Amino acid sequence: MEIINNSYEIDNLSYALDKYFDENTVFFDIECTGLSPRKSFIYMIGYALRLGNKITITQLLAENEAAEIEIINEFENVISKYDKLLGFNSTRFDESFIIERCRKHKFNTQIKTKKHTDLYLTTTKAKCLLNLPNYKQKNIEEFLGLNRLDKYNGGELIPIYQKYSLSGDEEAKELVLLHNFEDIKGMIYIADILCYSDLLNSEIRYLTHDKDAEKLRFELETDIHIPSSINKIREYGMYIIKENRIYVTLNLFKGSLYTFLPDYKNYYYLINEEIIIPKSLGESMDKSVRRPATRRDCKINAEGTYVTLPQGIDAGNLRTFKETYESKESYISVDDITPTLMIKIARYMLKH
């Protein structure tokens, strides 16, 4: 087994890096000779530790399969001093692979006792914001603006490692070390992607709004500064997220809509006039000209300027409007919209 250490300084710790990669966390990544832990073995475990702004990446390299247990044992000694693990697709692959290899070696691993954050699984929770073609590590790196030197993937490195293992070829060794080093350094870099999943559940505060004849615009803020801007267009409007600000623009509809009264049981519907009247006024009328009003009957026409209310948003006590009773789309008067409702609409737009 060979142990290789490299350290570097980070100038500014981002929100996500400081939250998820603290000094009690081990960032790790394994390299193996195949995808099946029953047929393949781990030939390298790379891990990173943080002390303040200093990052140290350590690589445990096995020269052959017999040395696998040595690097696993060394890694177990390291994680015994820490409470948390962080990786990319690491709960489903790296952790499971280590457990299976430890089972083969009749070695008790403690990896399951650690609090484990998986960058991949956490990032996919923010698909509604990101819409990346896929959520592979290199695609996330590109989204965040990272260009790596290593051009290989894990599968392409297997024959290169085998060349090193059989002949001790130094160039092959440097290639596998570079790949693992950049994987870990890249994972540290893309920890910022966790901002987006955190943003979905963060506190959002109202700042200001204005409107003209066609648009309602409002500005909100959060405590989370995202690394790369996001903008999305919806049928009823759009939003832009830049740093810790959310800028929302909603389309306005000007015209005639109906509001439906909730207390329809208190009204009669006059059949010939096609109008509703309170029951207190209709009791003396002949039953042939009236009937109990239904929900569909109890509507009031109103001219105004409206904002689309996305489905599932509770407008509270505010009056809502529709084109017809059957319409799924609801509206609210632009004059009635409140900062609380603006925040609800923005949160809906971020998640859908």
Compute CA distances 138 → 88, 134, 146, 179, 351, whole Å: 11, 10, 9, 12, 24
**Residue at a domain's end among 147, 179, 196:** 196
Q: Please tell me the predicted confidence (pLDDT) of residue 149.
A: 61
pLDDT at residue 142, rounded to an integer: 86
How many Å from the N-terminal Cα to the C-terminal Cα in the chain?
Answer: 49
Q: Could you say which residues of the chain have pLDDT below 70? A: 148-152
Q: The domain spanning residue 71 has which CATH number? A: 3.30.420.10
Same domain, 241 and 287: no
The whole-number pLDDT of residue 131 equals 82
Nearest Cα to Cα of residue 93 among 120, 72, 64, 71 = 120
* Residue 145 token pair: 């603006």
H/E run at residue 333: strand 330-333
Element spanning 153, H or E:
none
- pLDDT given at position 13: 85
Is there a contact between 119 and 88 (Cβ–Cβ < 8 Å)? yes
Q: What angle do CA 317, 321, 322 make, to 5 degrees?
A: 145
* CB-based contact 61:71 (threshold 8 Å): yes
Long-range contacts of 199-203 (CB under 8 A, 24+ apart): 199/126, 199/129, 199/224, 199/226, 199/241, 199/350, 200/125, 200/126, 200/128, 200/129, 200/350, 200/351
CA dist., res. 330 & res. 308, Å (int) = 6
| Domain limits for position 13 | 2-196
Count helices and strands (H / E) in the chain: 11, 17
pLDDT digits (tens, 9 = 90+) for 149-176: 656 677 788 999 999 999 999 999 999 9
pLDDT score at 87: 95
pLDDT in tens, 259-294: 999 899 999 999 998 999 999 888 889 889 999 999
Please check whether residues 174 and 214 belong to one and the same domain.
Answer: no
Final residue in a domain of this structure, among 180, 196, 212? 196
Tally the domains of the chain. 3
Co-location of 76 and 62 in the same domain: yes
